[in-house]
Structure 1
Amino acid sequence: MERRKFLKAAAGGSAALALASCNNSDSKEKSSAVKSTKKFKWRCQMLVSKTLPIWSDGIIQLAKRIKTLSDGRLDIKVYGGGEIVGAMEVFDAVKQGNLEMGHAASYFWGGKAPGAEFFTSIPFGVNANGMYTWITQGGGLKLWEELYKPHKLVPIPCGATGVQMGGWFNKEINSIADLKGLKMRMPGLGGSVITKAGASAERTPPGEIYTALSTGRLDATEWVGPYHDMIMKFHKVTKFYYIGGWHEPGSILELLINEDAWNSLPEDLQLIVRICAADTHQWIFSKWLYEDAKAYQDVKKLKNITVKEFPMDVIKELKKISKDVIGELARKNDMTKKIFKSYTEFEKVYDEYLDISERAYTKGLKA
């Protein structure tokens, strides 16, 4: 069956079952009929430019699929970062109703909603599959919804990067002392970790990173992986490319939806949004892995760049600091305690299972 027809059938069938289970009176049926023909026009702004592949492609595709599956009843126009509001203003714009939807990464909003960092990625934590499993199956989503509720926002996971790279540097890192005074673009919990190590963590917007590196405002930056990093041309203004992104082992992206806008949608349209978000999540994740794997072959050919791993002593120190930083956030309030408790309980069983499954398999491959 054609993918679009399958998704549409799934959405329609699930919605029909949900509606059939309701105890509908004649008046309710008439109300449902009115709702089913009402059309909605939303605006969604991403954190990044519409020219950035995969991320923007996925969200533009999401909007098209929602429009198709809803027979045009929900029409979402997608904007790039800065087109309506500043990239770092998406959270507030959706909260205030100036946008119905946004697409970003929750760790940017930790100052507004402490604990939001936990829903993107955790230094030395689980990978992208683990994060998505915790969020969708392990109770993470309910906690995420609870965290965003006071802000009148509805979060939906939508996209993942896989394990990121360690970053682009103009300074070689041989010991933890080399991080002192380093000006590095790194948001989220990773940024808090390098700050404790003596670096200056910057939250430079994507469109300003290259210029900041070329002018010396930044000494280093993390971004995502080989594919996007090469597109951003960081290799032209740096000397070292460190692999093994300890700070973001499995970053999850998010849809932020204004609560009033969400509640105005009938149940079938809400279901279509969730189905399309799940489909887009997998598309972004697999596309990212595919393009990164290919792009790494180009990175290896760069004569001006040295590809390196962080020394194990540096990794050990960063891991110790990470434990302290995460613990501080977890103790911040009752909500962060609940989130961290849920995550760590899941991480324990997930990590143990990886030992007897994927890690055991990988170990066998190297035999």
Structure 2
Amino acid sequence: MQRRHFLKNTLKTAGLGAAGIAAAPFVATAKAQETITWNMVTSWPTNFPALGTGANDFAARIERLSAGRMRVQVHGAGEMVPPLEVFDAVAAGTAEMGHSASYYWRGKAAAAQFFTAVPFGMNTTETNAWLYHGGGQELWDEVYAKHNLKPFPVGNTGTQMAGWFKKEINSLDDMQGLKLRLPGLAGEAMNRIGVTTVNMPGSEIFTSMQTGVLDAADWVGPYNDLAFGLHQVADYYYTSAWNEPSAILEGTVNLDAWNELPDDLKAVVTEAARASNLAMISEFAFRNAQALDTLVDEHGVELRSFPDDVMAALHEASQTVIQEQVDNDADSAKVYESYMAFQQLVRRFTDVGEFAYLKARAQVGA
């Protein structure tokens, strides 16, 4: 009797085991095909040209490259979180992804500023080379890991303009006491030469200029500045591109969410970021050219360059601000050492290549 009971239980268990083994491939396949849905919060108005649409492009590439296994819902500034709270929201897991600019987070991670723009620093091609080949991405990963984030370059505006001014700047004296919207290291440098700078979302610039809260404002370049109508609140557009010779747009991923992704989807996000980065650079080159013609030819915008004494003062102030940050923050020191070493490496060829060609083209009027 005991023997028959034992055999019955053994056969029953074996049968269940066989069923479980047979079902295992199906369960694994079903799990592999499970759709992952993430939220992305941004610092830009929904569908804002290049910046907002760049976030959309990043999300769409992730879905296409993953064959629908991964979907990202994009939320414009203020829809889930305020525009300047993207960093905290993604770090905390309120959203799995963010799209913004790293110099907004200088109060949280001082070294983050180097991953948007460095005054008098590298241009866009040089910056991408540093990130992809010169150790920049690895340093960015190291800095952001302390805040539970995984960063990527997901766009670049290229060389930005120096900003819109209500009055013409003829000397350093004309800068004294101006109220200017300008974030990052460049904003700190402006403070050192007598300007009062503030950081605010792009959506607030027009009204602040119109009501006199601001005397001047940096935003991006012709394409985005035209979209906000900044030519309606200031006559002078300064082309002295000292502040953001390159301006990276960052994509951030909550590090816990990132670590849970299978390797193939990590590769999807990485390649989607790279493709979106390069796509935005091309779009800005085209759209800025069109928008500049519109601003000058149709709206009569006055293009100006800062006088020599202003540029000299800004260069000196930039070096002082950067050195103070490097002296007081170990992460900044490590990142800036890498950044400057790479700039010195690539500058020689940039000068004899791109810069020499642009001078030659200007000389012959081609």
Give the TM-score of the pair, scaled to structure 1: 0.89
Select 1:181's aligned residue among 154, 164, 177. Answer: 177
Flag the 1:32–1:165 CA change in 2: closer, same or farther, 3 A.
farther
Select 2:333's aligned residue among 314, 330, 337. Answer: 337
Deviation at 1:55, TM superposition (A): 1.5
Residue 237 of structure 2 corresponds to residue 241 of structure 1: yes
Flag the 1:137–1:185 CA change in 2: closer, same or farther, 3 A.
same
Select 1:164's aligned residue among 160, 166, 169. Answer: 160
Q: Residue 137 of structure 1 aligns with which residue?
A: 133
Cα distance between partner residues in 1 of 2:25 and 2:92: 33
Flag the 1:335–1:216 CA change in 2: closer, same or farther, 3 A.
same
Consecutive unaligned residues in structure 1, runs of 5 or more: 1-27
Which 4+ residue blocks in structure 1 deviate beyond 4 angstroms?
Answer: 28-35
Cα distance between partner residues in 2 of 1:269 and 1:70: 7
Q: Residue 269 of structure 2 aligns with which residue?
A: 273
Deviation at 1:33, TM superposition (A): 4.9
Cα distance between partner residues in 2 of 1:153 and 1:35: 26
Select 1:356's aligned residue among 327, 332, 352. Answer: 352
Deviation at 1:65, TM superposition (A): 2.1
8 Å Cα contact 1:36-1:266 kept in structure 2: no
Cα distance between partner residues in 2 of 1:32 and 1:128: 44
Q: Residue 94 of structure 1 aligns with which residue?
A: 90
Cα distance between partner residues in 1 of 2:177 and 2:260: 50
Q: Residue 325 of structure 1 aligns with which residue?
A: 321
Deviation at 1:48, TM superposition (A): 0.4
Flag the 1:264–1:30 CA change in 2: closer, same or farther, 3 A.
farther
One-letter code aligned to 2:83? A
Q: What aligned pairs does 1:212-227 form with structure 2 within 5 A after superposition? A: 212-227=208-223
Residue range with higher mean Cα deviation, 352-361 or 105-114: 352-361
Residue range with higher mean Cα deviation, 92-101 or 33-42: 33-42
Residue 58 of structure 2 corresponds to residue 62 of structure 1: yes
Cα distance between partner residues in 2 of 1:89 and 1:303: 35
Residue 146 of structure 2 corresponds to residue 153 of structure 1: no
One-letter code aligned to 2:295? V
How many equivalent pairs are there? Answer: 340
Q: CA-to-partner distance for each residue in 1:254-293, whole Å, 9 max, x for gaps?
A: 0011001111110000101111111111111100110001
Deviation at 1:30, TM superposition (A): 9.5
Residue range with higher mean Cα deviation, 318-327 or 298-307: 298-307
Q: CA-to-partner distance for each residue in 1:289-339, whole Å, 9 max, x for gaps?
A: 100011111122255532111112211111111111111112222211110
Deviation at 1:34, TM superposition (A): 6.1
Q: Residue 249 of structure 2 aligns with which residue?
A: 253
Give the TM-score of the pair, scaled to structure 2: 0.89
Q: CA-to-partner distance for each residue in 1:69-93, whole Å, 9 max, x for gaps?
A: 2122111000101100100111000
Cα distance between partner residues in 2 of 1:351 and 1:33: 51
8 Å Cα contact 1:167-1:220 kept in structure 2: yes
One-letter code aligned to 1:77? Q
Cα distance between partner residues in 2 of 1:123 and 1:295: 24
Cα distance between partner residues in 1 of 2:61 and 2:128: 22
Residue 131 of structure 2 corresponds to residue 121 of structure 1: no
One-letter code aligned to 1:297? D
Cα distance between partner residues in 2 of 1:113 and 1:33: 41
The alignment yields a C-alpha RMSD, in angstroms, of: 1.7
Which has the higher Rg, Structure 1 or Structure 2?
2
Q: Residue 41 of structure 1 aligns with which residue?
A: 37
One-letter code aligned to 1:103? H
8 Å Cα contact 1:45-1:78 kept in structure 2: yes
Flag the 1:30–1:194 CA change in 2: closer, same or farther, 3 A.
farther
8 Å Cα contact 2:58-2:154 kept in structure 1: no
Cα distance between partner residues in 1 of 2:117 and 2:147: 21
Flag the 1:36–1:173 CA change in 2: closer, same or farther, 3 A.
same
Flag the 1:315–1:165 CA change in 2: closer, same or farther, 3 A.
same
Consecutive unaligned residues in structure 2, runs of 5 or more: 1-23
One-letter code aligned to 2:301? I
SS in 1 for 2:154: strand
Q: Residue 191 of structure 1 aligns with which residue?
A: 187
Residue 198 of structure 2 corresponds to residue 202 of structure 1: yes
One-letter code aligned to 2:86? V
Flag the 1:74–1:303 CA change in 2: closer, same or farther, 3 A.
closer
Cα distance between partner residues in 2 of 1:35 and 1:173: 63
Deviation at 1:364, TM superposition (A): 2.4
Cα distance between partner residues in 1 of 2:202 and 2:299: 25
Cα distance between partner residues in 2 of 1:151 and 1:275: 23
